Amino acid sequence: MSRRKGFSLVELLIVLAVIAALIATITPVALNAIKKAKATQVAQNLKTLASALENAAYVNGVNTDSDRTIRRSGTTTESIALADLGRDIKGSEYAVFYKHDSDGEYTVKVISLADAAIGQVQTALKDAFTGTLGNGDLVVSGYQPLTGTGWPATTPTTEIIAYTFTFSVY
């Protein structure tokens, strides 16, 4: 009895079943890696915006007017844009607010509206916290927005990830 060359249906189905099992095993790992990468990116962007704002205040100085606003340069009143402070930072996903006292101490809140797992963001950036805009979790009254109105398009129930820090300019 001669056998034809090729694969039988059973052999083909077994190979397909093995491939399906491998895909089912690897998919959760790949999705977890993507989530972790996004959370790391958000944490890094929060930290980058914080450091860049602090550097801008030190390098450019602050105006001597009564509001001590951080500006792009000492001679213009043009505000700093988020795109100028960091690479790959979308203005639609981040907002920066700050306030100061008469001694030159600044308190800055950097907010992300990006969809990322807060637990993983907090692993990368220990001081990050989460909340919603409508429940008073993030109080920005008394703070000035770094650019324009400060907020990208949001709703009061939008979940945010925020990072707060302070520094002094002498």
- Report which residue type is found at 36: K
Partners of 70 in beta bridges: 62
Rounded distance, CA 45 to CA 144, Å? Answer: 20
User: In what helix (H) or strand (E) does residue 28 lie, and over which residues does it extend?
Assistant: helix 9-60
Is 96 within 8 Å of 150 (Cβ atoms)?
A: yes
For 93-110, b where at least 16 C-beta lie within 10 A, e where not — what string?
Answer: bbbbbbbbeeeeebebbb
Partners of 167 in beta bridges: 106
Selection from 97, 135, 128 nearest residue 114 by Cα: 128
- Report which residue type is found at 132: T
Other C-beta atoms lying within 10 Å of the C-beta of residue 38 = 16
- The number of CA neighbours under 13 Å toward the Cβ of 119 is 2
Per-residue pLDDT of the chain (170 residues; tens, 9 = 90+): 566 788 889 999 999 999 999 999 999 999 989 988 888 888 888 888 888 888 877 776 655 444 445 555 544 445 667 777 777 787 778 888 888 777 778 888 888 877 777 788 888 888 888 877 655 556 666 777 776 555 655 565 667 888 888 888 87
